[in-house]
Structure formats: C-alpha cells, structure tokens
C-alpha cells in the first residue's frame, strides 16, 4: 500500500488525475471505476484540465460505485447528476460508455444483477474510492458481514446525517442505495483511496493501521496488492508520517 500526503486537496487531485491519465493512455479500452462526493471533485477538476490540454478520453468506459434508491437520474441530488455536473458534461465522454445503477428500477434485485453483469463485462483497471467517516467504501456500510456483489443497502443513521446537508429537508434524504459490492471493488487491478480533512483522520487511521474488520469496511483494502492512498495533511494527521 502506497500512501501519498499532499499540502492541499487540489495538489492531491492533480496527482490522482495523473494516475488516471496513465491508465487511460496505456490501454486501448480502459475501464475506470468512479466515485461521487466532495472528496473526488478536485480529481475531476484536474482530469478536466488534462482533457482540455489534449488527453483523449473517447475510448474510456466508466463504472460508478453507487446510486440512491428512489432518485431518478434527473434528480438534482442523484449521482447521475453529480457525474454529469462535475465530469461527464465537461469532457465530452460518450454517455453510452458510462454506467451507473438505476435507483428507480422497478425490480431492484434484477437491477443489481444487471449491474453485476456490467462489471463482469468490463473489468475495472482503476477504481477511485472515497471513504465515509464510518469507514464505508461505496455504500458498503459497517456490518457483521460484507456483501460481495452489487446489492441494496440500508444506509446507517450516520451516513444519512452526513448526506442531509445536500437536501432541503432531512426527511428527503434517501434511506437506501444500490452499491457495488466489496468483491467487485477488490477485483479492480488498481485502487486509489482519497480522504481530505481533519474529520477523516480517525477513520483513515482505523482503516489503514487497526487491522481488517467488517465494522470498518475500508480496512479490507489492506488485502489488495495495488492500493494508493491519497491524503492531505489533515486526514493523515494520525498516521505519524
């Protein structure tokens, strides 16, 4: 596991985008696993700048980690809209080459199977991950057991509270999500885990230094052979680096 600590999230985002560029330019059909949330915005901003400077992404396939249950793709707080706002619309990616779960599918079990098939057909070269303050990756929440494939998850009260700032009312925050499973994440050839801010320092320490445990799902990344952890100084504060 490689750990890189940067002065600012912007500096870290440039480094992360350069890692994505290496994957994109070294494969005829690269597949990138994408995440959403404030943490990845600096990465997408930097990647957009790379595209404006000549990086070709027309041959890239993307697969997102998750989507809220009950939010249509055109809902302002859906992850479809997040990706369109912060990345897809800014780089001219072919929308048929982007994949996200359908949070309003009439049969959620069938939708999970469909998404598992998408992942099987497009092995992920590089998976981008953030980490929740409770240690979730994707929406794989702390639990006694971790589910391998795509599944519907009940979001924890902690996650719901953290997400409430994006909604006008707490009651509007979705209580469930469709998420890529732990096994699908671990099958990516390379993984980058990003965390910024003092509020992530404790969970980063627990995920990287406190053993592998299901109540800190991100700790499972210790088993992967090629993980780069990208931090700012605040999130790395407890690591003693």
In a domain, 241, yes or no: no
In 159-236, where do the E strands start and end?
A: 176-179, 190-195, 227-232
Single pTM value for the model: 0.95
pLDDT digits over 140-185, tens only?
A: 999 999 999 999 999 989 888 888 888 888 888 899 999 999 999 9
The whole-angstrom separation of Cα 13 and Cα 16 is 5
In a domain, 29, yes or no: yes
Q: Token pair of 144, please?
A: 């006694």
In a domain, 239, yes or no: no
Collect all residues with Cβ–Cβ distance below 8 Å to 121 and sequence separation of at least 6: none
Note if 38 is an active site residue.
Answer: no
In a domain, 238, yes or no: no
CA dist 168 → 16, 82, 164, 183, 211 (Å): 32, 17, 8, 35, 38
How wide is the angle at C-alpha 131 spanned by C-alphas 178 and 227, nearest 5°? 105
pLDDT digits over 18-61, tens only?
A: 999 999 999 999 999 999 999 999 999 999 999 999 999 999 99
Note if 136 is an active site residue.
Answer: yes
Contact yes or no for 130/195 (Cβ under 8 A): yes
In a domain, 113, yes or no: yes
The enclosing domain of 52 has a CATH number of: 3.40.50.1360
The whole-angstrom separation of Cα 191 and Cα 184 is 12
In a domain, 189, yes or no: yes
> Terminus-to-terminus CA distance in the chain, angstroms?
14
In a domain, 206, yes or no: yes
Which member of 80, 136, 163, 232 is catalytic? 136
Collect all residues with Cβ–Cβ distance below 8 Å to 106 and sequence separation of at least 6: none
Angle between helices 9-25 and 41-52 (to 10 degrees): 50
pLDDT at 46: 98
Note if 107 is an active site residue.
Answer: no
pLDDT digits over 74-117, tens only?
A: 999 999 999 999 999 999 888 999 999 999 999 999 999 999 99
How wide is the angle at C-alpha 90 spanned by C-alphas 22 and 70, nearest 5°? 100
Exposed/middle/buried for residue 37 (C-beta within 10 Å: 0-12, 13-18, 19+): middle
pLDDT at 162: 84
Domain range enclosing 110: 2-232
pLDDT at 192 over 90: yes
Note if 134 is an active site residue.
Answer: yes
pLDDT at 241 over 80: no
Cα radius of gyration rounded to whole Å, the chain: 17
Instruction: State the total domains in the chain.
Output: 1
In a domain, 203, yes or no: yes
How wide is the angle at C-alpha 107 spanned by C-alphas 112 and 145, nearest 5°? 40
Which member of 64, 66, 67, 140 is catalytic? 66
Which member of 80, 116, 122, 134 is catalytic? 134
Contact yes or no for 165/203 (Cβ under 8 A): no
Query: What stretch of H or E contains 218?
Result: none
């Amino acid at each position: 596991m490689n750990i890189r600590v940067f002065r600012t999230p912007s500096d870290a985002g440039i480094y992360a985008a350069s890692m994505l560029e290496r994957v994109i330019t070294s494969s005829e059909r690269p597949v990138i696993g994408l995440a959403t949330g404030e943490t990845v915005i600096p990465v997408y901003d930097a990647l957009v700048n790379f595209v404006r400077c000549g990086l070709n992404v027309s041959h890239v396939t993307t697969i997102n980690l998750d989507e809220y249950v009950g939010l249509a793709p055109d809902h302002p707080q859906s992850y479809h809209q997040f990706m369109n706002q912060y990345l897809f619309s800014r780089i001219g990616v072919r929308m048929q080459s982007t994949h996200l779960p359908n949070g309003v599918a009439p049969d959620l079990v069938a939708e999970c199977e469909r998404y598992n098939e998408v992942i099987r057909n497009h092995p992920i070269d590089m998976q981008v991950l953030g980490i929740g303050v409770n240690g979730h990756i994707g929406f794989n929440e702390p639990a006694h057991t971790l589910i391998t494939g795509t599944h519907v998850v009940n979001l924890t009260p902690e996650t719901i509270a953290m997400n409430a700032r994006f909604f006008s009312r707490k009651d509007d925050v979705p209580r469930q999500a469709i998420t890529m499973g732990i096994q699908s994440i671990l099958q990516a050839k390379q993984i980058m885990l990003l965390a910024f801010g003092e509020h992530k320092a404790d969970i980063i320490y627990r995920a990287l230094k406190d053993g592998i445990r299901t109540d800190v799902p991100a700790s499972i990344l210790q088993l992967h052979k090629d993980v780069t952890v990208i931090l700012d100084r605040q999130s790395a504060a407890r690591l003693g680096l």
